[in-house]
Each structure stands twice: as C-alpha cells, then as structure tokens.
Structure 1
Amino acid sequence: MAEVAQSIMEKAEARFVDKQKKTAERNKATAEYMSEAKARIIKTARLRELRLAKEEADRVAEALNPTPKKKRTAVKKAGAAPKGEKS
C-alpha cells in the first residue's frame, strides 16, 4: 500500500513540475511577444516622425521654390485638316 501511495505522489510531483515548466515557458513567450510589440510601436513612431518631418521640409521647400507648371501643348489629330483648307 505504501508503494501505491509513493507512486501516486511521484506522478503528482511529476505533473506539478511539468505544469511549472509550461507556465515558465508561457511567461517567457509572453514577455518576448510584449517586448517585440513594444519595440515595433517605438520603431513605427520614430519612422512616422521622420516621415512627417520630411513631408514638412518638402512643403517648405516647395513654398520657397515653386516648380513651374508645364503648359499643355495642343496635339493635332492625325487626318484632321488645318483650318481654312478643305479636304
């Protein structure tokens, strides 16, 4: 009878140790995930700030040195007769 009780205790101890290991692994994975998410948020914010600063600099540069707008040239259609001439 003592052997049966010992066997049950050993099994219970093994299950307890397994649960502790799984919990530790889960906590580690969660910590890694949260760390990566935080790093991604920080990087995204930094890149957004850089993009906004560049867009603002581009707007200022455009205001100081506006690019001349291209004039549209009329394109004659093939087969169209010039004014004053009859086909």
Structure 2
Amino acid sequence: MTNDDNSRTAARAGAQETANALAEREAAAKAARDNMARLRALRLAREAAEPQRSAPAKAKRSAAGGKTAAARTTSRKADDKPRPLSEWLAEQQSGGRRT
C-alpha cells in the first residue's frame, strides 16, 4: 500500500464520518421540530377547550392615580422638554448617588 492509497482511504473515512454527523444532526433537528409541533397542537387544543376568559379586572387606583412615589416624581407632562444631562447628573450627585 502506498501513501497515496492511505490518503484516499483516510479521505473516504473522513467523508463518511462527516456524512454520519450530518445525518445525526438532521435527525435531531427533525425530532425537535416534531416535538415542537406536537406541543403546539396540544397547547392549541387545551386553549380551545377552556372557556373564554374575560379581561382581568383593573386594580383600584389610589388617590394619586395608582402611581408610586418614584413614578410620580419621574413622570413628565407631554409638553415638558427633557433636562440637560448636566442637571440630571447634579441631581444624582446631590441625592447621594455616586458615579
């Protein structure tokens, strides 16, 4: 057997391993797609079988409009212009935040 025969045999073996790996990958991908389709069908069947739910009732809002203190201080009116970054940084530093 010559070096040329050895390299051809190795090339064939490598190609066969590549084909086997590709077939395994395709089989795993097909199994995953089939499983997702099965689970989707089960979910859709379960959703179709359960009665239609009404929209959840909104929680009662407090006198402040249901906003927390932090939300009230950070909300802006529609016509307010954004503050410059320097003002925001100064406020953060005076409020105790370290950057």
TM-score past 0.5 threshold: yes
State the identity as a percent: 11
Could you tell me the TM-score, scaled by structure 1's length?
Answer: 0.61
Q: Which residue of 2 aligns with 1:73?
A: 59
Q: Quick check: 1:55 aligned with 2:35? A: no
Superposed CA RMSD:
2.4
Could you tell me the TM-score, scaled by structure 2's length?
Answer: 0.55
**Matched length:** 65
Change (3 A) 1:31 1:57: same
Higher relative contact order (CA 8 A, sep 6+): 1
- In our comparison, the structure showing a higher alpha carbon Rg is 1
In proportion to residue count, which structure has more helix? 1
1:50 Cα deviation after fit: 1.1
Q: Which residue of 2 aligns with 1:20?
A: 5
Point out where structure 2 has 5 or more consecutive residues left out of the alignment: 73-99
